[in-house]
Amino acid sequence: MKPYRSIAIIAALAIATMFANIGGLDIYALDEAKNAEAARYMFESGDYVVPYYNGDIRTDKPPLHYYFMAAGYQLFGVNAFGARFLSSLFGVLTVIITFLFVQKHFNQRMAIFSSVVLICSLHFNLQMHMSVPDPYLIFFTTWAFFAFYEAYKTDSWVHKLAYYFAIGCGILLKGPIAIGLPGLTALLFLIINKDFKWKTIWRLQPFGGLLLSLTVSAPWYYAVHKKTNGFWTEEFFFKHNFSRFSDAMEGHEGIFLMTFAFVFLLGMLTFFPFVFQSLKFAFQKRQSEAMLYCLIGVVVVVGFFSVSSTKLPNYTVPSYPLLAVLLGVYLSQLDATWFDKIGNRVIYFFYAVLITLFPVGIYFGLKAAPSLNHLTGLFVYFIPLSLGGILLLANGFRRTKMEQTLAVNSMAWLVTILLFFYFAFPQVDAENPVRKLVPKMDTSKTIVAYERLNPAFVFALEREIPRYPTIAEVKQAMAERPSGYVISRTNYREALEEIDGLTYFDEAKDLFENPTTLIMKWGE
């Protein structure tokens, strides 16, 4: 296939999955709602220095992703499509630069396989469907990874500038981690490759490069530090960086093995039978500097977050493009003799049975959820996985050509991903409290919150919702307005019902979380 045709097909497939129904799904997930709302406030207020969420300074993240979302709002309006448009675009760009890197340092066939690994990863696509910093961080970190290797091999100033510029953008997305991951990977690569020499370090210009990275990022950090009298700086660096690493935050703790499960089971589930073999293969072929470099990058990202106290599935996604390179190279050279090893056959048939039974798991998973058990029919959208699993079982017994086996597996997941975003997930998404409750409310009236507030309400209503921690403050707010609503949780219902004039309105179970959102009302 002509190179331009292969990259055009890969780009088209990436667009099809990354952009699948991004405007048809509500901004509901907690982090997504907070980020989209902070970006909306920046866009409408014109204050692009201090991030705010619901009237409070938001110290969780630097602002670059807010700027991208604001650009989306400018193009498409303040809505889900505008908030997610550039997230999806950066997902496509991540696939494309992965393709180009592999095509240059390996070959076109391997580049196609590597790209397909990303395109057929449901978790990778989920990340690119969200208005959060991660899609942008994944792109800029991947760009930094690849640009360093290019700079090392070619001594090109263009690639050196790209490397340090990408790190600077990463610093504006998530802070020091954008230096740590590519920087540690580069350092270990030079050491293991026995090229940690002053001559090599000098030609890579780390000191001038760091200055460029800080030139990109430091002006905003200085501006926000000055404008908030150091409050943002202290909260971000000490609470949201050092504390997240040293202590589990928001209940996201777990043993180090969780990080490996996130990557190898969740992220690379589509090619699970081949993941560990690809790592072994990369180690055996470590004389290839490109293979060695990508392997080190995977180990650095996964290893770093495995020792971090806070565990979240999105943290390790920057390893996916590097792991896709290793998988793509490995998959491209497989043939039917792969089935000769008993261990390979065991894991292959286990995987084939797993995806064959996937719809059954979806059915019983939904049936076990009280708020979603009426959606058990959604299992039909996962039947393509079952059909793919059955074909994989047949191919395994017949020892069919590996290309055909991989094509069947990829197609089954590709179809399932599209069905998931266009048909299955929208029906689950429609069960969220915002979709159920807001249409019943007279949103022209006063709306306040007691104790806890689902942030999706703030974005949906496009206004600040005062949140009061005490009953006395709720009473005061009610006294100042003739009618309105109080948003809270059902575990606070007893306390709220003690307020004269405040009555029950409605409630709805939160999706993916334990709480149930409660709406109380007062007045006519």
Q: What's domain 434-522's architecture?
A: 3-Layer(aba) Sandwich (3.40)
Residue 6, CA atoms < 13 Å, CB-side half-sphere: 17
CA distance 210 to 196: 18
Tens-digit pLDDT profile for residues 315-369: 999 999 999 999 999 999 999 899 999 999 999 999 999 999 999 999 999 999 8
**Amino acid type, 265:** L
Residues for the chain: how many in total?
A: 524
401 by DSSP, 3-state: which?
Answer: coil
How far is it, in rounded angstroms, from Cα 78 to Cα 97? 29
Question: 462 to each of 33, 38, 40, 44, how far by Cα in Å?
Answer: 11, 11, 8, 10
d(CA 164, CA 134): 19
- Report CA torsion sign: 171, 177, 183, 186: negative
Q: Which of 53-88 are b and which e, b meaning 16 or more Cβ less than 10 Å from the residue's Cβ?
A: bbeeebbbbbbbbbbbbbebbeeeebbbbbbbbbbb
CA dist 524 and 261 (Å) reads 52
The confidence score (pLDDT) of residue 247 equals 54
Residues of the chain with pLDDT under 70: 242-256
pLDDT, residue 250, reads 54
Written as six digits, the tokens of 409 are 């597996």
Residue 217 in tokens? 């990022």
Please state at what angle helix 64-76 crosses helix 80-105, rounded to 10 degrees.
120
Structure confidence at residue 244 (pLDDT): 57
Token pair in block for residue 80: 């889900």
Strands 484-489 and 516-522: what pairing? antiparallel
Q: Exposed, middle or buried, 112 (CB in 10 Å: 0-12/13-18/19+)?
A: buried
